[in-house]
Structure 1
């Protein structure tokens, strides 16, 4: 018997989150034990999809593969924190360059929650979203990534905490538009533009115009 419509929607969401956790876990698994556990989580997400579709729990994974096979651009959320006309930047551990706090959006979270989570993880700061500043296509803004990525950047007001480094950063600081440090891919173009959006020189939210 197939569950009702609301239950099916909830099951799809649960399966999607489990799939994301398992896929990321398999990518970073350190040994066979961890890989085996994440494979079980992935299998559980497949069984949930089959239950939602009223199909065989054991044998039929076709619906699962249908919903996971479409290739899409990646999605990232950043926090632009301004103070006294300066912007908060973090120095990345992986390449030694600077950028706005941010990272990939996780399955099951909103864009605003992702931006606030990344701000907390990378700087220790709590904040609240003030407004959407813009959506930036990595192909247009020269991020030089292997895959297309949309940077969704929010203006964020700090509500609690003082900046600290994290396991992803080695330094942090507030910088003015005319004294920016060496910036990570895409940021040499995006960060000066954020100053214009923040100051009202450009209308926000920004989005790339159609071809």
Structure 2
């Protein structure tokens, strides 16, 4: 579970964002801006990241605050799972990324696998929708739902992408160093359950 200070900071940010969007009274707007600034200060204090950067990344949205959606693609071959090596941290992840406006989750999955691994795939099954705060990821300023979508290779060849430096398949008992902001060992173990038990219902939370 995420630390309490992070939960409070995100809740304050959500309240402030809604208030700044829907309030008309100038004094209320000032109060909601103050609440937003407090949330930024909390996050900066606990992460040693500058308040300016946090405002750009964390407190820059308008409208009613809703979770972001991260699509992760699960591709098996010969009882091994497809992973890509991320340029940002040199660790390994399931292909994927943020959901795109105008694309369905399946379309995002197909696009991300092609861009990051070189393979052409079709989507076959929703494995699960996981709330990032319920899993052992590093603290994140965003509230994120992670959609794990199973895919089947229909063409292409392994090829690194703009954001990736290597493409490999790994057995369940031979996992590499994981990019834990993107996927955890427990999540990889979870998706392997669906390789062994394809009739298992979708996982959520």
**DSSP-derived class of the 1:131 partner:** strand
TM-score (norm 2): 0.66
**Runs of 4+ residues over 4 Å off in structure 1:** none
1:203 positional shift: 2.2
Is 1:163 the counterpart of 2:162? The answer is no
* Contact kept? 1:196, 1:202, Cα under 8 Å: no
Is 1:150 the counterpart of 2:141? The answer is no
Match of 2:68 among 66, 74, 83: 74
1:201 positional shift: 7.9
Match of 2:185 among 175, 178, 188: 188
**DSSP-derived class of the 1:194 partner:** helix
**DSSP-derived class of the 1:139 partner:** helix
* Contact kept? 1:81, 1:88, Cα under 8 Å: yes
**DSSP-derived class of the 1:107 partner:** coil
Structure 2, gaps ≥5 residues long: 1-61
- 1:113-158 CA distances to partner (integer Å, 9 max, x unpaired)? 1111111110111110111111111111222222111111111001
Aligned to 2:173: 178
TM-score (norm 1): 0.64
**Number of residues of Structure 1 aligned to a counterpart in Structure 2:** 142
Instruction: Give the whole-Å Cα distance in 1 for the aligned partners of 2:68 and 2:115.
Output: 20
* Contact kept? 1:133, 1:198, Cα under 8 Å: no
**DSSP-derived class of the 1:197 partner:** helix
Instruction: Give the whole-Å Cα distance in 1 for the aligned partners of 2:80 and 2:152.
Output: 13
Question: 1:54-93 counterparts in 2 under 5 A?
Answer: 68-93=62-87
1:202 positional shift: 8.1
CA RMSD, 1 decimal: 1.7
* Contact kept? 1:98, 1:183, Cα under 8 Å: yes
Question: 1:37-116 counterparts in 2 under 5 A?
Answer: 68-116=62-110
Which is higher, the Rg of structure 1 or of structure 2?
1
Q: Greater CA deviation, 122-131 or 195-204? A: 195-204
Instruction: Give the whole-Å Cα distance in 1 for the aligned partners of 2:132 and 2:191.
Output: 15
Aligned to 1:119: 113
Higher relative contact order (CA 8 A, sep 6+): 2
Structure 1, gaps ≥5 residues long: 1-67
